[in-house]
């Protein structure tokens, strides 16, 4: 397909609504644009060619940062996945880039042979192979699309190359994290309220809030390197008030059992949610995530099973009045 589509750098209500739904995780894989070659402004044969994913948030971040700049945007078919994740999955990759260059007859629209790719797409693309197969050279732009105007006029700076994950970027992920566990959380909270009353329901609520809300906000400040152990430490802190409550309100071994079961259950839940968050940040690598999964998931499962068992047995014994 040789057709060049047109786009603008202006985002309207429709795009804002799409962004909101994407942040909420609504129909996650449907936030995409058509792959192909786009004309932004009035590009000529010397205008830059920038490469993006067909995830709407990625595409919109790129085009909205290029206000007043004439350029071509080559959109790869990443199946509606952002650049960094698609590079890890291989859809923002060498073969797709080569195919998109050929299918759009890119060489017929520009005299130069230069492609500017997002830096976070580098793991998926072999620059020398693209050059060998198409004649186009690959260079990597800044981490953030907002820096592209300065990059195009003056080149890259060290600051442009630095990957950061500030509070705003972490906080914006909270809604989708909550949505991912919403059904399970509601079921657990309601079930525990029916079976045990207010305190067990609050324990379930706090475990979810700690893992899906507090963890993203506190990520840089939690000790240890692994996400899972960060989450487990946060789980210990979140469970402490409930453990103290049981120790103070329940006599003897019953208080100890409730306290121990609560700690094990909350630590396992928060640790698991923290492990899931590795897919939301550029801090993690595929090998690192794989290592964490094999190292910690068995321990989290055992801890959760033991915690539930301790609580269930304690509740049953207390209800039967055996002690």
Q: Do 285 and 312 reside in the same domain of the chain?
A: yes
- Cα(262)–Cα(256) distance, rounded to whole angstroms? 10
Q: Do 98 and 176 reside in the same domain of the chain?
A: no
pLDDT of residue 320: 67
Q: Do 88 and 139 reside in the same domain of the chain?
A: yes
Q: Do 60 and 199 reside in the same domain of the chain?
A: no
pLDDT of residue 289: 84
pLDDT of residue 318: 72
Strand (E) or helix (H) holding 311: helix 286-320
User: 163, 194, 211: which is the final residue of a domain?
Assistant: 163
CB 88 within 8 A of CB 280: no
Q: Do 153 and 81 reside in the same domain of the chain?
A: yes
What CATH number does residue 49 fall under? 3.40.50.11600
Which residues touch 290 (CB under 8 Å, ≥6 apart)? Answer: none
- Give me the half-sphere count of Cα atoms (radius 13 Å) on the Cβ side of residue 181: 24
pLDDT 10s digits, 119-173: 999 999 999 999 999 999 999 999 999 999 999 998 888 899 888 888 988 999 8
Distances (CA, A) of 303 to 50, 181, 203, 299: 48, 20, 16, 6
pLDDT of residue 124: 92
Q: Do 191 and 248 reside in the same domain of the chain?
A: yes
Q: Do 123 and 25 reside in the same domain of the chain?
A: yes
pLDDT of residue 321: 61
pTM of the model: 0.80
Question: Which segments in the chain show pLDDT lower than 50?
Answer: 323
User: 111, 140, 163: which is the final residue of a domain?
Assistant: 163
- Cα(84)–Cα(28) distance, rounded to whole angstroms? 16
- Hey, what are 266's tokens? 């909350």
> Directed axis angle between helix 56-64 and helix 13-23, to 10°?
130
User: 134, 163, 192: which is the final residue of a domain?
Assistant: 163
Report the domain count for the chain. Answer: 2
Q: Do 138 and 60 reside in the same domain of the chain?
A: yes
List the domain range (segments joined by +) for residue 192. Answer: 168-320
Q: Do 44 and 154 reside in the same domain of the chain?
A: yes
- 137: three-class secondary structure by DSSP: strand
pLDDT of residue 149: 95
Q: Do 112 and 132 reside in the same domain of the chain?
A: yes
pLDDT 10s digits, 191-205: 989 888 899 999 999
pLDDT of residue 37: 97
Q: Do 257 and 150 reside in the same domain of the chain?
A: no
How wide is the angle at C-alpha 67 spanned by C-alphas 144 and 34, nearest 5°? Answer: 75
Q: Do 15 and 150 reside in the same domain of the chain?
A: yes
pLDDT of residue 2: 66
pLDDT of residue 25: 82
């Amino acid at each position: 397909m040789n057709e060049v589509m047109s786009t603008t750098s202006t985002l309207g209500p429709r795009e804002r609504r799409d962004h909101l739904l994407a942040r909420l995780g609504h129909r996650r894989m449907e936030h995409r644009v058509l792959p192909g070659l786009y004309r932004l402004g009035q590009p000529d044969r010397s205008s830059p060619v920038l490469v993006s994913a067909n995830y709407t948030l990625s595409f919109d971040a790129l085009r909205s940062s290029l206000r007043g700049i004439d350029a071509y945007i080559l959109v790869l078919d990443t199946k509606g996945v952002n650049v960094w994740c698609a590079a890890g999955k291989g859809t923002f990759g060498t073969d797709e880039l080569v195919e998109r260059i050929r299918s759009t007859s890119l060489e017929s629209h520009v005299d130069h042979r230069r492609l500017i790719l997002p830096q976070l797409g580098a793991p998926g693309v072999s620059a020398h192979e693209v050059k060998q197969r198409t004649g186009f050279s690959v260079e990597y732009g800044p981490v953030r699309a907002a820096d592209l105007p300065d990059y195009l006029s003056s080149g890259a700076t060290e600051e442009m190359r630095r990957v950061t994950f500030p509070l705003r970027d972490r906080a914006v992920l909270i809604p989708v994290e909550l949505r991912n566990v919403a059904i399970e959380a509601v079921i657990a909270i309601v079930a525990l309220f029916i079976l045990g009353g207010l305190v067990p329901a609050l324990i379930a609520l706090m475990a979810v809030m700690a893992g899906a809300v507090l963890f993203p906000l506190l990520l840089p400040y939690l000790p240890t390197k692994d996400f899972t152990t960060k989450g487990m430490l946060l789980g210990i802190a979140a469970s402490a008030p409930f453990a103290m409550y049981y120790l103070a309100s329940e006599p003897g071994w019953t208080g100890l059992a409730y306290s121990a079961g609560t700690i094990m259950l909350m630590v396992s839940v928060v640790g698991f949610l923290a492990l899931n968050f590795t897919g939301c940040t550029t801090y993690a690598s595929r090998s690192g995530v794989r290592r964490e999964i094999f190292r910690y998931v068995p321990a989290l499962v055992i801890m959760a099973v033991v915690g539930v068992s301790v609580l269930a047995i304690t509740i049953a014994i207390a209800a039967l009045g055996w002690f």
